[in-house]
């Protein structure tokens, strides 16, 4: 068993890596994340956003350990949440969330479900031929077993208290007799979990956008354990509100930036219009996906080259939710639920504008957001004030307002080749509504 080591992290400074973390880092499943950008194609808009998914996973594990220490949890629980933090994203595919909705549509699962299955050894995110090249490297479940941690217990933490297990086969801490363990769920997946604390400050640092700066130390000082759950002392209310504001602003300014969305949708359409099984694409990393698209030729090759040389489609027209009547909203719901209908609308727009299929994109972001970030509207956090328990939504008008704030400026956006923007903008209402 290796000794503990320290590394220097970009945003957290010196981080200690315990033997469990070091052993998990040797697995192929985790090392694969070195080749996946944390923010997908965001680097096309924010040039510094080239950090990897494994950096984030290390950061989440570190923050989870700090939370466990702040809450006074026992050593075995600390190890459990640190493992959960390190492994919470092993199910990600190339360019992180870019293909999330395609995966969800094709396989009826999301990256969290895959993550759970990978942790328990029921699935793999490493291609079989690559796994064979390293026969002596153990998998995640083997490493956890060697350290006396049940893989099913780690996998159970990934979705938090509101999540579903793997058909009831995962350990369920939410049962009444295990209520003292709810805090373990909350450290990994809740309204103020270790995941969000890390990605907000990390992504703000690498993008250069000063919107994700939060007072982590103050949050740690005011975390309390109340009835087996994680809560925040009222003295930490400003730090808590800062996290929620940072989350809202980072989503609208960075994660859902219109140009980022267009680039992501271009890659997603290239994959959708291919005949390849999405399960095999999910095992790729960023450069492998682009190389694969080039090898496919045709539309897929064109999209890969457009991404490589940043020759993207441009926004032609967009509508906010308030701009649409009830009938138009119903039409968008149908398009968002039925990918075939959305594709028909895109092709109809392209054809009438004199463009080739695939050169018009209809982006309806809300359903995809709920798949990639189900916590976006969560603000109802337990607050302890002089021994009395309340909810953040009662104490903070800011938190209530953030629940109503739209993440993106548009309910639907249409993008196309720059030369056809005026024509597509004119045709879009007739085709979509």
How does pLDDT run across 327-350, given as a tens digit for each residue? 999 999 899 888 889 999 999 999
Q: CA 194, CA 82: separation in Å to the nearest integer?
A: 10
pLDDT band of 164, cuts 50, 70, 90: very low
- The whole-model pTM stands at 0.92
Asked if 306 contacts 266 with a C-beta cutoff of 8 angstroms, the reply is yes
Contacts of 341 (CB under 8 A, 6+ apart): 334, 335
Lowest average pLDDT, out of 8-12, 111-115, 127-131, goes to 111-115
pLDDT (0 to 100) of residue 174: 45
Count Cβ neighbours within 10 Å for each residue of 327-349 and write b for 16 or more, e otherwise. Answer: ebeebbeebbeeeeebbebbbbb
pLDDT exceeds cutoff 80 at 373: no
pLDDT tens readout for residues 27-56: 999 999 999 999 999 999 999 999 999 999
- Gap between the Cα atoms of 187 and 82, Å rounded: 9
* Residue 346 to residue 431: CA distance in whole angstroms: 9
25 with 138: CB under 8 angstroms?
no
Residue 168 has pLDDT above 50, yes or no: no
Nearest Cα residue to 403 out of 394, 393, 411: 393
Q: Please, what is the average pLDDT of the chain?
A: 90
Supply the Cα-derived Rg of the chain in whole angstroms: 22
How far apart (Å, rounded) are the C-alpha atoms in residues 349 and 356?
A: 10
CA distance 249 to 214: 12
3-class state of residue 56 by DSSP: helix
CA distance 372 to 52: 17
Domain annotation for the chain: domains and CATH numbers: 5-256 (1.10.3210.10)
The model's confidence at residue 322, banded by pLDDT at 50, 70 and 90, is confident
């Amino acid at each position: 068993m290796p000794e503990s080591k320290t590394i220097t992290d970009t945003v957290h400074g010196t981080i200690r890596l315990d033997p469990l973390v070091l052993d998990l880092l040797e697995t192929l499943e985790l090392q694969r994340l070195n080749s996946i950008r944390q923010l997908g194609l965001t680097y096309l808009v924010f040039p510094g956003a080239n950090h990897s998914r494994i950096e984030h996973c290390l950061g989440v594990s570190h923050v989870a350990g700090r939370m466990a220490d702040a809450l006074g949890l026992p050593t075995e629980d600390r190890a459990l949440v640190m493992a959960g933090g390190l492994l919470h994203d092993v199910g990600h595919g190339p360019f992180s969330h870019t293909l999330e909705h395609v995966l969800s549509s094709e396989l009826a699962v999301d990256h969290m479900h895959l993550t759970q299955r990978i942790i328990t050894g029921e699935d793999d995110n490493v291609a079989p031929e690559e796994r064979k090249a390293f026969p002596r490297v153990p998998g995640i479940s083997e490493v956890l077993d060697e350290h006396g941690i049940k893989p099913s217990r780690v996998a159970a933490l990934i979705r938090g208290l509101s999540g579903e297990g793997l058909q009831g086969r995962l350990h369920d801490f939410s049962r009444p007799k295990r209520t003292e363990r709810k805090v373990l769920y909350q450290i990994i997946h809740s309204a103020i979990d270790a995941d969000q604390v890390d990605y907000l400050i990390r992504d703000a640092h690498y993008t250069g956008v000063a919107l994700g700066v939060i007072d982590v130390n103050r949050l740690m000082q005011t975390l309390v354990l109340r009835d087996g759950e994680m809560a925040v002392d009222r003295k930490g209310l400003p730090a808590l509100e800062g996290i929620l504001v940072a989350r809202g602003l980072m989503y609208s300014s960075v994660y859902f930036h219109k140009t980022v969305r267009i680039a992501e949708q271009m890659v997603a359409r290239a994959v959708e219009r291919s005949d390849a099984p999405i399960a095999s694409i999910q095992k790729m990393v960023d450069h492998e996906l682009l190389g694969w698209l080039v090898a496919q030729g045709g539309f897929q090759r064109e999209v890969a080259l457009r991404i490589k040389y940043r020759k993207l489609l441009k926004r032609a027209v967009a509508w906010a939710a308030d701009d649409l009547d009830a009938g138009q909203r119903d039409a968008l719901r149908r398009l968002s639920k039925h990918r075939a209908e959305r594709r028909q609308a895109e092709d109809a727009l392209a054809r009438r504008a004199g463009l080739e299929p695939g050169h018009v994109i209809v982006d309806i972001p809300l359903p995809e957001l709920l798949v990639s970030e189900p916590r976006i509207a969560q603000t109802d956090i337990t607050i302890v004030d002089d021994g009395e328990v309340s909810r953040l939504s009662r104490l903070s008008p800011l938190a209530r307002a953030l629940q109503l704030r739209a993440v993106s400026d548009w309910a639907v956006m249409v993008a196309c080749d720059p030369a056809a923007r005026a024509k597509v903008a004119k045709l879009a209402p007739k085709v979509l509504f």
